[in-house]
Chains A and B, each alone.
Chain A
Amino acid sequence: MADVVIVGGGPAGSTLGCYLSAAGVDNLILEQANHPRPHVGESMVTATTRIFNDIGFIPQMEREGFPHKYGASWHPINGARQFDIAFREFPQEGVNQDYTYHVDRSRFDHLLLRHAEDRGSKVVQGVSVRDVLMDDDGTACGVTAEIDGKSIDFDAKIVVDASGRHTLLGRKFGLKVNDPHFNQFAVHAWYEDVDRGEGESQDYIHIYFLPFKRGWAWQIPITDTVTSIGVVAEKEVFRTSKGDLEAYMDNLVESNPSLARRMAPATRVNELKQEGNYSYSMSRFSGPGYVLLGDAARFVDPIFSSGVSVAMHSAKFASGPIIEALRTGDVGEGAFDSYDEQLKKGVQNWYEFIKLYYRCLPIFTRFIQDPEHRLDLLRLLQGDVYDADGVPVLHAMREAIEVIENTEGHLLQSTLESVG
Chain B
Amino acid sequence: MKEDLQKFVNGSLLRGSEQVDSNESLLERGVIDSVGLMQLIEFIEDRTGLRIPDQLLVPENFRSVDAMDEMIQNLRNP
Q: Which residues of A contact B (CB under 8 A)?
A: 76-78, 80, 362, 365-366, 369-370, 372, 400, 403-404, 407-412, 414-415
Q: With A362-B34, A415-B34 known to touch, is A410 a contact of B39 (CB < 8 Å)?
A: no
Q: Is there a chain A Cβ closer than 8 Å to B38's Cβ?
A: yes
Given A407-B55, A407-B58: A414 in contact with B33 (beta carbons within 8 A): yes
Select from chain B the residue with minimum beta-carbon distance to A416: B34
Alpha-carbon distance between A412 and B54 when the two chains are bound, in angstroms: 9
In angstroms, Cα B38 to Cα A365, docked, is 9
Residues 10-42 (chain B) with a chain A CB within 8 angstroms = 32-35, 37-39, 41-42
Indicate if the CB atoms of A403 and B54 lie closer than 8 Å. Answer: yes
- Contact of A404 with B37 in the complex, beta carbons under 8 Å: no
| Complex interface: chain B residues within 8 A of A409 (CB) | 58-59
Q: A362-B34, A369-B45, A370-B51 are in contact. Are A411 and B39 (CB under 8 A)?
A: no
Question: Nearest chain B CB to A43's CB is how many angstroms away?
Answer: 26
| A/B interface sample: 12 pairs, CB < 8 A | A76-B35, A78-B39, A80-B39, A365-B38, A370-B51, A408-B58, A410-B57, A411-B57, A411-B62, A412-B34, A412-B54, A414-B34
A408 to B45, CA, bound (A): 23
Say which size band chain B's interface belongs to. Answer: 10 to 19
Complex alpha-carbon distance, A411 and B39, angstroms: 13
> In the bound complex, how far is the Cα of B34 from the Cα of A157, in angstroms?
57
Chain B residue contacts of A365, Cβ below 8 A: 38
Q: Give the one of A403, A407, A411, A412 with max B CB within 10 A.
A: A411
Residue of B nearest to A402 (CB): B54
Contact residues in A for B35 (Cβ distance below 8 Å): 76-78
Residues of A contacting B39 in the complex (Cβ-Cβ under 8 angstroms): 78, 80
Set of chain B residues within 8 Å of A407, measured between Cβ atoms: 54-55, 57-58
Please give, as numbers and ranges, the residues of chain B lying within 8 Å of A415 by CB-CB distance: 34
Q: What's the Cα separation between A131 and B27 when bound, in Å? A: 63
Q: Bound state CA distance, A408 and B61, in angstroms? A: 13
Please pick, from A77, A372, A408, A412, the residue contacting B37 in the complex, using a CB distance under 8 A: A412
Do B37 and A411 touch across chains, with their CB atoms under 8 A apart? Answer: yes
A404 to B55, CA, bound (A): 7
Cβ of B7 to closest chain A Cβ, rounded Å: 17
Please tell me which one of the listed residues B45, B51, B58 contacts residue A411 in the complex, with CB atoms under 8 A apart: B58
- What are the nearest 4 A-B pairs in CB distance? A403-B54, A415-B34, A411-B57, A78-B35
Q: Measured between alpha carbons, how far is A414 from B38 in the docked complex, in Å?
A: 13
Query: Do A403 and B55 touch (CB < 8 A)?
Result: yes
Q: Given known contacts A404-B54, A409-B59, what 17 new A-B pairs fall within 8 Å (CB)? A: A76-B35, A78-B35, A362-B37, A362-B38, A366-B54, A403-B54, A403-B55, A404-B57, A407-B54, A407-B57, A407-B58, A409-B58, A410-B58, A411-B32, A411-B34, A411-B58, A412-B37
Nearest chain B residue, comparing its CB with the CB of A363: B54
With both chains docked as a complex, state the minimum distance between the C-beta of A413 and any C-beta of chain B, in angstroms. Answer: 9
Most buried by A among B35, B39, B51, B54: B54
| Least CB distance, A42 to chain B, in whole angstroms | 30
CA distance A287 to B5 in the complex (A): 62
